[in-house]
Amino acid sequence: MVPSNDVLASLGCDGADYSVEMELKIKDNEDNYRAIYHKGHVNAERTVSIWCRDDILHTSCTATGSANNFANSGAYPVDEWFTYTVVKEGDKLTVYFDGVENHSTKVKGDTVCNDGPFYIGGSPWYDSFGGSMNSLAVYDRGLSADEVNTHADDSVFSLDFEPTED
């Protein structure tokens, strides 16, 4: 868990744009939701959150028009490294695999920020994902398609995660 700071606390405030980029290696595709990251004090605060389930990445943000604005990815590669990027720009939430747009959805209303912690690799509400993460970067703006494609070098930290037993 990363405590909130000025950049994380303002993520998505009043509809502001943001991006989150990371390299992932997910070891399985189980049928239960497993948290990769989650920003918020409670489960309903989801600016910004991502889970894996089956072979899909579920990315969500909370907005004034809907608590869940999902941009669900296509199938992710199991046990292989890939770059996953989420860009919220204007009223659009877009996900990319390895720099290529995979899916986008219209955000219903302005995104709602929260000053909750940034849970990485798991959350109090969902099991942890099994896999590895590298070069996690959080931006207070929407990255351009060219920036996503070239993968920004501003990594924050790298961590490995193993699922926890219930």
pLDDT tens sequence for the chain (166 residues): 777 777 777 888 888 999 999 999 999 878 889 999 998 899 888 888 999 988 889 888 888 888 788 888 888 888 988 899 999 999 999 999 888 899 999 999 888 888 888 899 889 999 999 999 988 888 889 999 989 988 644 433 344 445 555 4
Q: Could you tell me which of 152, 126, 140, 162 has the C-alpha nearest to residue 53?
A: 126
User: Which H or E run contains 100?
Assistant: strand 100-106
User: Can you give the pTM of this predicted structure?
Assistant: 0.84
- Residue 91 · residue 107 · CB < 8 Å: yes
Residue 150 sits at φ, ψ, to 5 deg, of -90, -5
Alpha carbons 92 and 88: distance in angstroms, whole number = 6
In words, the CATH class of domain 6-161 is mainly beta
Question: Alpha-carbon distance 107 to 15, whole Å?
Answer: 9
Start-to-end Cα distance in the chain: 19
Q: Which residue has the tokens 């909130």?
A: 4
Domain spans in the chain, listed from the N-terminal domain onward? 6-161
CA distance linking residue 92 with residue 19, whole number of Å: 12
